[in-house]
Copies of this chain bind each other. A is one copy, B any other.
């Protein structure tokens, strides 16, 4: 029973790591589909989200099974219980990547990103992908330093998000209302994506150390 129990807990960590790594891939592809007006890639992100949702559900079932069969305590209980909101947040990150991909698909064969915003959106996409990649590594390697890195990383995204708004609200914005609205909503999706990553990172730190830092 002890061996099975350890396997089940390790399986929970593995599933969390995989779910996080999927969101790294999803946001990277979503950004590429947006910048390159690549409809096929956008479609792939949208389809893959169904798998993400299925994996999240399976992860929840796995956690509840451990809870019912093993009645874990202390750090193990912390892992099992915290895996529930963590997996929900990871799936939500996937839904936000899907929103980006849908915005991209809507404008194909044009890019949904106005020329003037390309550099900023590229930086936003890179930041989001980098955050998700570090988060996935923090989970896979159960590394509190990496988790803390992600948990303290929202300043970069916030600054880029503000820059985007300043650009699209500038008096000489030449692209009209629809392009500005597209960009504002895209900015919001990326900001929420990064925000969810920060929340997950804090919870991962909590699972490992038992301390929930603010």
Contact = CB atoms under 8 A, between A and B. Distances in A.
A79 to B, nearest CB: 14
B178 A169 contact: yes
A81 B88 CA distance: 14
Given A67-B81, A84-B84, 5 more contacts: A81-B84, A168-B177, A169-B178, A184-B185, A188-B188
Nearest to A165: B181
Contacts of A71: 71
A83 to B, nearest CB: 11
The SS class assigned to the A binding surface is helix
A180 interface: yes
Interface in A148-204: 165, 168-169, 173, 176-178, 180-181, 184-185, 188
Interface of A: 64, 67-68, 71, 77, 81, 84-85, 88, 165, 168-169, 173, 176-178, 180-181, 184-185, 188
A206 to B, nearest CB: 12
Identify the interface centre among A68, A169, A177: most chain B CB within 10 Å of its CB: A177
Contacts of A77: 67-68
Nearest to A181: B184
Contact of A180 (B67, B84, B177, B188): B177
A173 B184 contact: no
19 contacts: A64-B81, A67-B77, A67-B81, A68-B77, A71-B71, A81-B84, A84-B84, A84-B85, A85-B85, A168-B181, A169-B177, A169-B178, A169-B181, A173-B177, A177-B177, A177-B180, A180-B180, A180-B181, A184-B184
